[in-house]
Structure 1
Amino acid sequence: MTPPPLHGLSASAFALLHFIVIVIASASGTTTTTTTTTSLPTDEHGDYNGSDLIDWIRSHPEGIIHLSLRIGRERPGDLSSPLGLFVKNDAESIPISKGDVIARIPWDMMIQPGGKYHPYKFFSCRAIYNLANELDMGEHSDKAPYVRYLLSQKRGNMPGEWSRAGSNFLASEILGNGDLPPYEDSWRAKFDVEWSGGCSGTDATADPIAHDNERRAYWLASSRDEDTLMVPVYDMANHSNDPVLLNTVSYKPARAGDAFLFVSSRDIASGEQIYNSYNRCNACSGMALSGDCETYSYARTPDLYVNFGFVEDYPQYWEFDPQHKDDDSGDDSSDDDDDDDETGFEFCLIRDEVSGELAARYIGGSNDMPDAADVAWMTRQLNRLRALSDEKERLEGRHVRGADGDGNGDVDGDPDKMPRSEWESSWRYHDALSRAIEAAIRSVSKDHNILSDGEL
């Protein structure tokens, strides 16, 4: 696709907030900690507004940030609300029209794999090593405004970086020890396999400080990169596949040295949030046939939970495999000539705009809908999840730090318990699973009378 024309844009001023960056140095096996005071820009609500980052990008001859773009929280002043990109809502703002460049990020302002970059390569050890190096340099990095923002990000959002107690609870209680996605090989050992093994990452016992810095870089890349690129400002756009909300398309560099373009796909009104899709080309997004699939991102809803730590809004994309656990066990005693090798089924979970009712639309149509055995399996899973929900209050006291007065819920307390943030994330995913399975059962039952409503 041909990139749209560019628009000249100017810089903005910023307010200051002191932010403490912890710089850890190691000498002869001894760890020392120092603090430096660095300016972070904020808006009138005390929320990060990224104006230092915007000014930095605009200072580059090829850097563009649209004059009407602002960074802020969805709910101003609420620290639990995510940061995002918005169109300014004031009399001086220039409207964002379809085809406008929202951001043009030059190559040397991204954190990238260098000359080894390829647009169809989706993981790079070199890119993560480069990110770890930038994080280690901190304020001394030539990308300091971006690094400063990255270092301010809370750690522990993705299930793969959770505490042992949190990951055990998700794997065993929520996912049924391999019954439900995301399956453990996609998240629980991801860092060890992909980074420590595949990228020869630093061993924790040999150099714990370097190991921790690489771990931070790995999970930042997992949650914020565009394949092998860390792209400032662009990575602050929140996710949506809602055709009413989604309003952008991105253009990755065709080769090393090219810029990254972030472009409006429709007119974006004043005050409106600017959204990106993190899995634009999946079968449920409606984009696969539109020609806007530059990123080749096909991830399902469980994949987004693994890679970003959130449950996406509707439409969602689910795949279940009733025989996944049996397949992993290596036991082929159930194989016979009549078995169907394709045991899994995929569906889009759609919410009706008027009634709010959820419905499952199966990817392969009626020929690939679950059979009676699949529905029985889903019913068992749904009943298990409901029973778990009935025990939630009792389980909270057993598994969560601070639930019985032993700490503040996130940092202090029993190391064999999980932070409250992991507990709440697990239950958000539990609820998403329950809704998806229930809708899948009802959709099949309605079409084939496999179950009556009273049996669900």
Structure 2
Amino acid sequence: MDSLAKLLLQCAILTAFLVNSPLTKVEGSFDESTSLPEFTALVDWIRSHEGGFVDDRLAVLSIPLDNSNSTFYRGVFTTGVVHPGERLCYIPWATIIGPRGFRPEFDAPLVDTAFHLSHELKYGETSPFAPYLKVIGQQQITNPSSWSLSGRALFQQMIGDVLPPHHFDRHVEWFVQHYGMNSDLMKAFFWVSNRAMQADTGNQWLLVPLVDQYNHHSDDGKVNTARFASRGNGFEVIATKFVQAGSELYTKYWGDYTHFFFEEFGFVEEYPQRWEFDLRHVGGSVLEVRLSPIQNATNPKQFHLEWFTDTPDIASMDIMKRELIRLQEFERVYLKDLDSYHSVPKTEKDLILGYHRALMTALDQVVVAASAGERSEEEECIAEMAVTCLGESRRKLSP
């Protein structure tokens, strides 16, 4: 690869890092004034049931993601030091919304739990689950399948036919096919599909108060809690690591890939991120990588890329480079003027932007890593042409 092509690629990568850096929580923002009052009532309700336990050190907080105080991040924190093996909470079965046989003939556990939630929502303040329902009603459902038609259309245009997640709207399509446009049940179904967790015994999906506020982290070194569930006996969270006062408590959700978490739960996970690009339907191969930030690097946005599949073939790299250019074009045409898309709710715009940033970074890293690998003379020639084209395209697309 000649020096010009290398320079163009390096500039493209650096631009993506500077423009597309993810939001980070403001240091020192832990403050009791940010605690959420509705969770005080929820904790009291949990404790009022036999066996219900919530450690006094736990607090559900809403903290700013940046200095503008316009975007907030919610999570479970500890106000005191926590040691491995300590019990953090025990949620009795009587407070958990799960399958109760509302549709015993139906073999979809998510739907059974959704029927239960919908049933309780009709009772509102008179429901025995009222404190939990109040919390549920204040939080948004964020998985793409639940978005507005205009939001889903914009997201589909962004990912195209090649990039993941594929068939992200399958939940809403399946629901409409079986139940039509039942808005109350659909809302309950989306909430269950977005927030429910699976019990460790049997195929049950449960809405577990307080525990559903623990955020996911993909870094095993930062995951500091474990969750245990037993049918009819409740749900328990145990600390697995030493945790400093003021730190967030993390768990690990089921699933492996960054695009899977976005599709199912509606968030872009923090690094490390694992991606699978299945390009077989467009003439390529399956590429699977993990991106981990390099600690103590001069450039804080440097990553270590680990391959879980063979180094990409020429066809796959050509596809990835085309997709990288297409995402840059999408950013120029759509993302720079998101405010003009009045039919797309702001939350959906923010999520699309965040996923676009993560996807751009992943593709950038795959392209630069594969281009740096050993190639035949023919492969190197093709790679140089593609990278030069990428640089030229980005210059043309710049405003």
Fold shared, TM-score > 0.5 on shorter chain: yes
Partner-residue secondary structure (3-state), 1:241: coil
The answer as to whether partners of 2:34 and 2:61 remain within 8 angstroms in 1 is no
Q: Is the 8 A contact 1:84 1:238 kept in 2?
A: yes
Is 1:396 paired with 2:338?
Answer: yes
Kept in 1: contact 2:165–2:263 (CA 8 A): yes
Q: Which whole-Å deviations, capped at 9, do the CAs of 1:188-236 have from their partners, x for residues lacking one? A: 232231x344xx43x33xxxxxx22212111111221103010110001
Give me the whole-angstrom Cα distance separating, in 2, the residues matched to 1:454 and 1:246.
Answer: 38
Q: How many angstroms apart in 1 are the aligned matches of 2:36 and 2:70? A: 8
Q: Displacement of 1:323 after TM fit? A: 2.9
Q: Deviations over 1:122-171 (max 9, x none)?
A: 9432111111112222211111111110011134x221122222111111
**Structure 1: where are the runs of 5+ without partners?**
1-41, 90-94, 205-210, 279-296, 327-333, 335-341, 402-416
CA contact (8 A) 1:135 1:151 kept: no
Secondary structure of 2:296 counterpart? coil
Cα gap change, 1:345 to 1:46, in 2 (>3 Å):
closer
Looking at structure 1, the residues matched to 98 and 320 of structure 2 have their Cα atoms a distance apart, in angstroms, of 43
Q: Which residue of 1 aligns with 2:290?
A: 348
One-letter code of the match for 1:51?
T
SS of the aligned residue for 1:50 comes to helix
Decide whether aligned partners of structure 1 residues 302 and 99 sit closer, same or farther in structure 2, where only a CA change above 3 A counts.
Answer: same
Mapped to 2, the partners of 1:393 and 1:69 lie a distance apart of 38
In the alignment, is residue 128 of structure 1 matched against residue 111 of structure 2? no
- Conserved 8 A contact 1:136-1:213: no
Count of aligned positions: 338
Whether contact under 8 Å (1:304, 1:310) holds in the other structure is: yes
Equivalent position SS for 2:33: coil
Distance 1:300 1:249 in 2: 20
| Structure 2 counterpart of 1:191, one-letter code | V
Does residue 190 (structure 1) correspond to residue 171 (structure 2)? The answer is: yes
Letter in 1 for 2:274: Y
State whether residues 224 and 249 of structure 2, in contact with CA within 8 Å, keep that contact through their aligned partners in structure 1: yes
The correspondence for 2:258, drawn from 292, 296, 301, is 301
Counterpart of 2:367?
441
Tell me which of 235, 243, 256 is aligned to 1:260: 235
For 1:196 and 1:100, locate their aligned partners in 2 and report how far apart those are by CA, in whole Å. 44
Q: 1:419 aligns with which of 342, 345, 349?
A: 345
Amino acid across the alignment from 1:219:
F
- State the alpha-carbon separation in 2 of the partners of residues 78 and 397 from structure 1: 19
Write 1 or 2 for the structure with the bigger share of helix.
Answer: 2
Q: Distance in 2 between matches of 1:393 and 1:237?
A: 31
Alpha-carbon offset, residue 75 of structure 1: 3.2
Aligned partner of 2:187 in structure 1 is 216
Q: How does 1:269-348 map onto structure 2 within 5 Å? A: 269-278=244-253, 297-324=254-281, 326=282, 343-348=285-290
Contact 1:49–1:72 at 8 Å: present in 2 too? no
Any residues of structure 2 matched to 1:55-134 within 5 Å, and which?
A: 55-75=44-64, 78=69, 80-89=71-80, 95-114=81-100, 123-134=109-120
Aligned partner of residue 249 in structure 2, secondary structure = strand
Does 2:163 match 1:180? yes
Shift of 1:44: 3.4
The answer to whether 1:168 aligns with 2:168 is: no
Could you tell me whether the CA contact under 8 Å between 2:34 and 2:63 is conserved in 1? no
Deviations 1:31-53 (A, max 9, x none): xxxxxxxxxxx963474451111
Change in Cα spacing, 1:141 to 1:397, as seen in structure 2 (3 Å) is closer
Q: In the alignment, what sits opposite 1:247?
A: 224
Q: Is the 8 A contact 1:48 1:71 kept in 2?
A: no
Equivalent position to 1:363, from 303, 308, 313: 308
* Alignment root-mean-square deviation, CA: 2.7
In the alignment, which residue of structure 1 is the partner of 2:210? Answer: 233
Instruction: Report if aligned partners of 2:86, 2:238 keep a CA contact under 8 Å in 1.
Output: yes
Contact 2:273–2:291 (CA under 8 A) maintained in structure 1:
yes
Q: Provide the rounded CA distance (Å) in 2 between the counterparts of 1:383 and 1:299.
A: 27
Q: Shift in Å at residue 379 of structure 1? A: 0.5
Identity %: 26
Aligned residue identity for 1:428: G
Higher relative contact order (CA 8 A, sep 6+): 2
2-side partners of 1:397 and 1:45: how far apart?
29
Alignment of 1:31-50 (within 5 A): 44-45=33-34, 47-48=36-37, 50=39
Q: How many angstroms does 1:63 deviate by?
A: 1.1
Q: Contact conserved, 2:49 with 2:94, CA < 8 A, in 1? A: no
Please tell me whether the aligned partners of residues 359 and 443 of structure 1 are also in contact (alpha carbons under 8 angstroms). no
Counterpart CA distance in 1 for 2:289 and 2:108 is 25
SS at match of 2:238: strand
After TM superposition, the score normalised by the length of structure 2 is 0.78
Rounded Cα–Cα distance in structure 1 between residues aligned with 2:350 and 2:64: 20
Structure 2: tracts of 5 or more residues without a match = 1-30, 199-204, 391-399
In 1: Cα distance, 2:121 partner to 2:275 partner: 35
What is the aligned partner in structure 1 of residue 20 from structure 2? none
1:318 is matched by which residue type in structure 2? Answer: W
- One-letter amino acid matched to 2:314: A
Alpha-carbon distance in 1 for matches of 2:61, 2:37: 6
Does structure 2 conserve the Cα–Cα contact (< 8 Å) formed by 1:43 and 1:49? no
Q: Write the letter of the residue equivalent to 1:442.
A: V
Q: 1:423 to 1:363 in 2, by over 3 A?
A: same
CA 1:191 to 1:359, structure 2 compared with 1: closer, same or farther past 3 Å? same
Structure 2 counterpart of 1:175, which letter?
I
The 1-side partners of 2:291 and 2:100 are apart by: 39
